[in-house]
Chains A and B, each alone.
Chain A
């Protein structure tokens, strides 16, 4: 089973700053199967990035994804107040189903 490890656990930044979130896989993951989600308190997760680098419908271009094999990154170029939330990476493992990372909490400094 592929394990996804996200870092840091908590990231404290100010609006306007750049955020870099990491997702590391225990084995190589197809980029096609790597996605990122945002979750705010009391809400369902929202798809941000799929295929490691493609933005989902309606997602602002300040969000970008990159990476390959075992190292993937979600970057938020310039933080807006509404971006402070928890972010999860996810991978698809065929017959093993899906796995999520443990999440990175992005909080206001």
Chain B
């Protein structure tokens, strides 16, 4: 069974830093691209960042570019999100999500973690 378990969420002051982790199990982690998606309280989904299976390709949403860094450790089956210069508007539940890419090129997020809450507030 595919499992994604996020951790690291906390209450943090504006301007602070936080590192989120996502522990993967039940599949060959090194074969899949991964993503972070966030959801502010009562709001919709916002894609945050993408990392390819080998870490060779990385994308960020404009809203976090230059402040957040995605990384992974395939030996530890883990995905990370380093968040710096945090702002009030970064308050959200952060989900890690596995990307499914079919042989015909179709792409989607087929497995999600339960999320970890990051609250940025003074």
Contact = CB atoms under 8 A, between A and B. Distances in A.
28 contacts: A32-B106, A32-B107, A33-B107, A37-B45, A39-B45, A44-B112, A45-B95, A45-B109, A47-B100, A47-B109, A50-B102, A50-B106, A50-B110, A51-B102, A51-B108, A56-B108, A88-B44, A90-B47, A90-B108, A95-B59, A96-B59, A97-B49, A97-B60, A99-B47, A100-B46, A100-B47, A101-B44, A102-B44
Interface residues of B, number: 25
Given A46-B112, A99-B47, A102-B44, A92 B107 contact: yes
Given A88-B45, A96-B59, A50 B114 contact: no
Range, interface on chain A = 20 to 34
Given A95-B59, A98-B35, A98-B50, A44 B115 contact: yes
Interface of B: 35, 37, 44-47, 49-50, 59-61, 95, 100, 102, 104-110, 112-115
Contacts of B104: 32, 51
B25 to A, nearest CB: 16
